[in-house]
Structure 1
Amino acid sequence: MKKIFYGVTALALMAGWGCSRVDANTSNSVPTTDAYEATVTSSNSAAGTTRTTADAYVAPGTTSNVAGTGTMRYGTRDITEATFLTEAASSNMMEVQLGKLALERSANSEIKRFAQTLVDHHTKGSQELTSIASGMNFTLPTALLPEHQKLVDELSKLTGSEFDRKYIDKIEDAHESDIALFDVVSNAAPTTTVKAFAIRTLPMLRVHEHEADELEKKILK
């Protein structure tokens, strides 16, 4: 079932981690190497301060001096790089938690394989985001955003085929939302490292979404 999952969240990540780089279908020309992604210019650092996740929540139409300046339009709201980093970090953590839950709860070998892939990719994504945020003097969340926690709590109550159906459905929805958000950031982020990260993450998000869709068709009829 293809539908947008979270209207206000970006969910999770990771191109080039254990799989081939797939055409991201973007017109961006920002370099996509890991070395480039890891480079953070001093001009984009918030001098002498460490920002918290509270700074990520800025009202539509406002700007933030955290993680770059200016806003980007995502759906019906304006977001900053701080918003993006916060939501992406929470999404990564959610994907890892749900993947580990699927490894415990599912008896389906294909779902377990897919879940392990997500755990591996999103764990590495979390590590990379931490590096990027650290270079920008921005503190990522250590707990899930409420909407992500709500989904983890919901799936934690399920077992067997009921869990399988809900897990695949929600993972597909989550990646559709991620793709939409990362596409915006890949084109409009003012900070080069954030933009490059979004560009090279898009192919992996598309692969994950496609695999979830195929699993839904094949297994969860």
Structure 2
Amino acid sequence: MHKASWAGALALAFLAGCAETQQAADTTVAAAKAQVNPTLSTSDATFMTTATRGGLAEVRLGQLAQRNGRSEPVKRFAAKMMTDHGTANQGMAALAQQKQITPPDSIGAEHQEVYDSLAKLRGRAFDRAYAKAMVQDHQEDLRIYQEEAQNGTDPDVKAFAARQVPVLQEHLRMAQRLPQR
């Protein structure tokens, strides 16, 4: 793939701002990464790209919740997200370095859309919207991590995903207990 067409695919994904386009862009990026490291499958590289974007988003959204949230449970949850996903992000960065790929350094269009929407809210309205977003986000995170843990081809990436599944399950339970009404 030429540099120009790869950059064009990424630019298109950013501008379109929808999940389907973001997933296609992540797959394009993953394919390019898999070419750099031929031992890493495209699906494993896609997982790493998607998981990195999600982890970065959790930290940014947690920071936003600290500023815009009202309730203590939301602020405590946000602090836990910042800590746990920050630690996972460091682990993913080390794994990416080991696999000789460069992880994304942005949250991607889909997560940016959620961030922008939440950034307009304050207090209880923020708390409710953040809680709902965290439930949806952790359901999706759990799905992709379980998929990688079960079907990944790279043993290191697969093991990383498997170690994160219980953490994400707990995050989902916590998010479901946040005030959503």
Structures share a fold, TM > 0.5?
yes
1:179 correspondence with 2:142: yes
Structure 1 position 95, deviation (Å)? 0.3
Q: Quick one: higher RCO (CA 8 Å, sep 6+), 1 or 2?
A: 1
Superposition map of 1:1-221 within 5 A:
55-56=29-30, 64-65=34-35, 66=37, 68-70=39-41, 80-215=43-178, 219-221=179-181
The answer for the alignment partner of 1:38 in structure 2 is none
C-alpha distance in structure 2 between counterparts of 1:8 and 1:99, whole Å: 25
After superposition, the CA RMSD in angstroms is: 2.3
- Unmatched runs of 5 consecutive residues or more in structure 2: 1-18
8 A contact 1:89–1:129 mirrored in 2: yes
- Unmatched runs of 5 consecutive residues or more in structure 1: 1-5, 11-51, 59-63, 72-79
Q: TM-score, normalised by structure 2?
A: 0.80
Structure 1 position 54, deviation (Å)? 5.2
Q: How many residues align?
A: 159
8 A contact 2:22–2:109 mirrored in 1: no
Q: Measured at CA, do residues 8 and 213 of structure 1 come closer, stay the same or move farther in structure 2, by a change above 3 Å?
A: farther
Q: TM-score, normalised by structure 1?
A: 0.66
Structure 1 position 220, deviation (Å)? 3.2
Amino acid at match of 2:112: Q
Structure 1 position 188, deviation (Å)? 1.2
Q: Which has the higher helix share?
A: 2
- The percentage of counterpart residues that share the same residue type is 30
Structure 1 position 138, deviation (Å)? 0.5
Structure 1 position 7, deviation (Å)? 6.8
The answer for the alignment partner of 1:25 in structure 2 is none
